[in-house]
Amino acid sequence: MDLPEVSSINIIKDLFFYFLGAAVIVLGLVSFYTIFYSWKYRRRKNSKDEEPEQIHENRKFEFWMIGLALALVTGFFFYSLNAMNRIQGVPEHPDPELVIVGHQWWWEANYPKDNISTANEVHIPAGKMVHVKFTSADVIHSWWIPKIGRKMDLMPGYDNYMSIYVDKPGVYRGSCSEFCGDQHGWMKIRLIAHTPEGFERWKKQEHTHAPGEQDSLFYRGQQLFHTKSCTSCHSTIVTKKNPNIGPNLANFASREYFLSNVKKNNTANLKAWLRDPQQLKPGAHMPNFALTTEEVNALTHYLQNLK
């Protein structure tokens, strides 16, 4: 697998191959001497039926064996400790730039310093260490993006911290790796690493509300969004957090995917979701509001113009 130049995974990768190399050498030596001495001291056809010479101890050999094993274990202990400290890289009382909250079954992403709250798509700058706090609103989840390398549990009532560093801009995909209920398998992660300039543009765009086509259908959808109690669980204000409820839908039309990054954000999928949420995501907390075709069309138009 062609891995990106990401600091934490490179440290883990190096540690793995050092361990693997040492294990192969030890296995090779043990196998060689086992076979060699089994052959050298085998029972020969013309040998006398008598007990061979017994060797009870070899202090020099024992010291060498114990010393080499101790040196190997000690070396790997301190190397692993150093690797853990380099990967963790979080102060004792961190001031996180990003807070990830796990929900059944979606990801909430808050940027306290920038007063931004969004969902499912996580944005970070490439080439910069980002301090992240992880917690859960309901059950245990686990954040894992294989190409970044680290996995972190999210537990209700408890905060975990991790630093994320990505060298190259791009899209990195992962998923929840701790069983958390019906839709665990579809709780996907989409992390977007921008250039520093691109990240600043993204933050500015999040605070710039410029809805698309504001026609009568848009305002009809906006009205339905309030009268159908959508606002009980969702917000369309980028600075507003709705803990323990539903994803923030501010700038929803700017997201490439929805439903925890499972479905493409297009008209057909959005209409299917509004008609019957359980058909697309069984077990989801959003009820079926029995919307008419006109209401589905209006809400779809409204959401697709939230940019």
Residue 221 confidence (pLDDT) above 80: yes
**Residues in the chain, how many?**
307
Asked if residue 259 has pLDDT above 50, the reply is: yes
Residue with tokens 């975990």: 160
How many angstroms separate the most distant Cα atoms in the chain?
A: 107
Tens digits of per-residue pLDDT, 24-33? 999 999 999 9
In Å, how far are 234, 282, 292, 293 from 275, measured between CA atoms? 17, 13, 8, 8
| pLDDT at site 135 | 94
Q: Are 187 and 173 in contact (CB under 8 A)?
A: no
**pLDDT of residue 93 exceeding 80:** no
- The Cα–Cα gap between 231 and 289 comes to 14
For the CA atoms of the chain, what is the radius of gyration?
29
Assigned token pair, 242: 């709705």
How many Å apart are CA 54 and CA 19, to the nearest integer?
A: 36
If pLDDT is split at 50, 70 and 90, which confidence band does 283 have? confident
Average pLDDT over residues 126-147: 91
Starting at the edge strand found earlier in the chain, the sheet holding 160-164 runs: 116-119, 106-111, 98-103, 130-136, 160-164
Task: State the pLDDT at residue 284.
Answer: 84
pLDDT the model gives residue 61: 84
Q: Which of 50, 11, 3 is nearest to 163 (CA)?
A: 11
Q: What percent of the chain has pLDDT over 70?
A: 90
Residues 108 and 136: beta-carbon distance below 8 Å: no
Q: Are 105 and 178 a contacting pair, CB within 8 Å? A: no
What does the pLDDT read at residue 274? 93
- Mean of pLDDT values over 89-93: 57
Mean pLDDT over 168-186 rounds to: 91
Predicted confidence (pLDDT) at residue 296 exceeds the cutoff of 50: yes
CA 40 to chain centroid: 54
The pLDDT value given to residue 4:
44
Spell out the domains of the chain, with CATH numbers in brackets.
98-207 (2.60.40.420), 216-303 (2.60.40.420)
Nearest of 270, 149, 254, 155 to residue 210 by alpha carbon: 254
Q: Which two tokens stand for residue 72?
A: 């190997």
CA 197 – CA 159 distance, rounded (Å) = 30
Q: Tens digit of pLDDT for each residue in 100-118?
A: 999 998 999 999 999 998 9
Backbone CA torsion sign across 91, 94, 97, 101: positive
